[in-house]
Amino acid sequence: KQEVTQIPAALSVPEGENLVLNCSFTDSAIYNLQWFRQDPGKGLTSLLLIQSSQREQTSGRLNASLDKSSGRSTLYIAASQPGDSATYLCAYDAGGTSYGKLTFGQGTILTVHP
């Protein structure tokens, strides 16, 4: 049962482009949504956390938005760089009795060419 869907599955862009990664989730009653980065063979690095009451969060060239009612989140990366190449994962925390348990999407593999 797929609860979190990420589109596209893979993305290849030239350096300098602005890009958008999409995440949709079926459970609108989320507590928060997080975006992570995963480099090959490595663990996950937390990028941004958006509380359910918030619409967006920004960190440097990254901006994440959240529309809880429609079950969507986007991660915007400005002026992409080769060092941004990684897999980007979104995950939600449903809160309540499931507080702290993350449900992940399958990820978007991003390649930024020099």
Partner 1 sequence: DTGVSQDPRHKITKRGQNVTFRCDPISEHNRLYWYRQTLGQGPEFLTYFQNEAQLEKSRLLSDRFSAERPKGSFSTLEIQRTEQGDSAMYLCASSKAQAGGLRYTFGSGTRLTVV
Positions touching partner 1 (CB under 8 A) are 4, 31-32, 34, 36, 41-46, 49-51, 54, 89, 91, 93, 100-107
Shortest Å distance, C-beta 90 to partner 1: 9
Shortest Å distance, C-beta 3 to partner 1: 10
Residue 4 or residue 75: which is nearer to partner 1 going by CB? 4
Q: Quote helix, strand, coil % in the chain, to nearest 5.
A: 5, 55, 40
Q: Residue 40's Cα: distance from chain center in Å?
A: 17
Distance in angstroms (rounded) separating the CA atoms of residues 6 and 61: 20
